[in-house]
Amino acid sequence: MQKEWYRINGGAPLEGTVTISGAKNASVAIIPAAILSGDTCILENLPHIHDVQVLETILKQIGATVEYTVGDCMKIDASHITTTEVVSPEVQEMRASYYLLGAMLGRFGECDIALPGGCVIGARPIDQHVKGMRALGAEIEIGSDNILRARAKHLHGAEIFFDMVSVGATINVMLAAARAEGLTVLTNVAKEPHVVDVANFLNMMGASVKGAGTDVIRIQGRKELHGCGYAIIPDQIETGTFMIAAAATMGDVVIKNVIPTHMEAVSAKLMESGARVEEGDDGRDFFIRVCMRERPRPVSIKTLVYPGFPTDLQQPMTSYLTVANGVSTINETIFENRFNHVKELRRMGASISVKENRFCKIKGVKQLRGADLRASDLRAGASLIIAALMGQGVSNVHHIDYIDRGYEFLDAKLTALGADIRRMKG
């Protein structure tokens, strides 16, 4: 298979308007959630990204009908699912395939699923997912073949206090609880926008999910759920990526189809660094405008669960701060190995020191220079593209398959903002 990479000639400010796509981390949960009903669901505003394509493949493999309608909506008919075995190679291609566990348990009371693939940013265990499913009455075994086997003669409500805040475990248990008999109370839950989006989708299917976005979620299980139509929220992380890219290239960008309240931690940090961030609505869309005309001031970042600064934007922010007028610090509290982009930024002349893989100190330099770079994961890839856009001269960003997993039409969107970026094949 031919290799592909991005060739970027940096130094130009991003200027103009960009429209944000549907949220990846909501989409990869809502597509599996659609099988909780034996009906048809129509999903609008799904991003055309690799992770969505993989889930489409998996749903077809288990017997669902998945097609795109006029108007680019995904139509999922889950009435003829033929198996509760989800063990194809595609399942290990992505992390979020584990949402099929909650959906299958909720719908069929059983599921054999391959454990999700590895990931460079951390071990990413699923012990909280398993804890929640067992509390709902499922028996769960993980075999030496890395297949998780779940059986639940009777899914019943439960009170579950998560040992730590987990987006995946909160959503996965919510899916199963939506069809469990009785009341489930989830405490110490994730409050990310995509958690709320999944809860809203479930309620459109006739579920009773209350309190998503707060510390306690109450779910009254339903015997049956029905199909529905639903539009995915805009992607909080893509929005933040473009906000940071605008500031990092000393540009002036209007980012449309956003939800400003989801971006408060990012807006605050960019303003603290000296960027101008304005919110507004043009009568149809909310937008955020980011303008930066000076060298950024140094800031300190601590990644936290929502509404704190998102870990998924820690890597793009690191690139931005490599040219700040002083020393910035970053404390990554969510994942134990999320600094793989640092060695690549050093190749561009960045001055960054890392301690215990949880802290980094960034001494601002005047400018980055172009270099050959390798993405190690999705958001590291985004951070390297931002660094290449900032850098003087040409950079090549390799392993962009990671980037294709989470950003829709990224090079086209950046080109429209004046970036000199080309997707190369060879």
* Cα–Cα dist 275/293, whole Å: 8
Q: Is 25 in the site for ligand EPZ (CB under 6 A)?
A: yes
Q: Is 262 in the site for ligand EPZ (CB under 6 A)?
A: no
CB nearest ligand EPZ: which residue? 168
Q: What angle do CA 183, 185, 187 make, to 5 degrees?
A: 175
Q: Establish whether 119 is a catalytic residue.
A: yes
Looking at 179-258, which runs of residues are DSSP E strands?
183-187, 208-210, 216-220, 229-231, 252-256
Q: Is 205 in the site for ligand EPZ (CB under 6 A)?
A: no
Q: Is 124 in the site for ligand EPZ (CB under 6 A)?
A: yes
Q: Is 28 in the site for ligand EPZ (CB under 6 A)?
A: yes
Q: Is 334 in the site for ligand EPZ (CB under 6 A)?
A: yes
Given 103, 133, 169, 178, the residue binding ligand EPZ (CB under 6 A): 169
* Cα–Cα dist 331/333, whole Å: 6
* Cα–Cα dist 183/19, whole Å: 40
* Cα–Cα dist 200/98, whole Å: 20
What is the chain's length? 426
Q: Is the dihedral of CA 371, 376, 379, 381 positive or negative?
A: positive
In the complex with ligand EPZ, which residue's Cβ is closer, 116 or 391? Answer: 116
In the complex with ligand EPZ, which residue's Cβ is closer, 77 or 238? Answer: 238
Three-class SS of residue 100? helix
Rounded to a whole number of angstroms, the minimum distance from the CB of residue 325 to ligand EPZ is 29
Given 168, 227, 316, 370, the residue binding ligand EPZ (CB under 6 A): 168
User: Of residues 119, 228, 291, 360, which has the active-site annotation?
Assistant: 119
How many residues touch ligand EPZ (CB under 6 A)?
27
In the complex with ligand EPZ, which residue's Cβ is closer, 334 or 348? Answer: 334
Rounded to a whole number of angstroms, the minimum distance from the CB of residue 327 to ligand EPZ is 26
Rounded to a whole number of angstroms, the minimum distance from the CB of residue 224 to ligand EPZ is 27
In the complex with ligand EPZ, which residue's Cβ is closer, 10 or 339? Answer: 339
In the complex with ligand EPZ, which residue's Cβ is closer, 23 or 324? Answer: 23
Q: Is 96 in the site for ligand EPZ (CB under 6 A)?
A: yes
Number of Cβ within a 10 Å radius of residue 41: 26
Q: Is 324 in the site for ligand EPZ (CB under 6 A)?
A: no
* Cα–Cα dist 27/22, whole Å: 7
229-266 as b/e: b if 16+ CB within 10 A: ebebbbbbbbbbbbbbbbbbbbbbbbbbbbbbebbebb
Q: Rounded to a whole number, what is the distance in angstroms from the first to the last CA of the chain?
A: 9
Q: Which stretch binds ligand EPZ (CB under 6 A): 31-39, 116-124, 275-283, 416-424?
A: 116-124
DSSP state of 273: T
Q: Which stretch binds ligand EPZ (CB under 6 A): 80-88, 125-133, 212-220, 361-369?
A: 125-133
Q: Is 197 in the site for ligand EPZ (CB under 6 A)?
A: no
Can you state the angle between helices 167-177 and 193-204, rounded to 10 degrees?
10
Q: Which stretch binds ligand EPZ (CB under 6 A): 65-73, 80-88, 124-132, 393-401?
A: 124-132
Residue 5, phi then psi, degrees to nearest 5: -150, 165
Q: Which residues are catalytic?
A: 119
List of residues contacting ligand EPZ (CB under 6 A): 24-25, 28, 95-96, 122-129, 164, 166-169, 190, 237, 311-312, 334-335, 378-379, 406
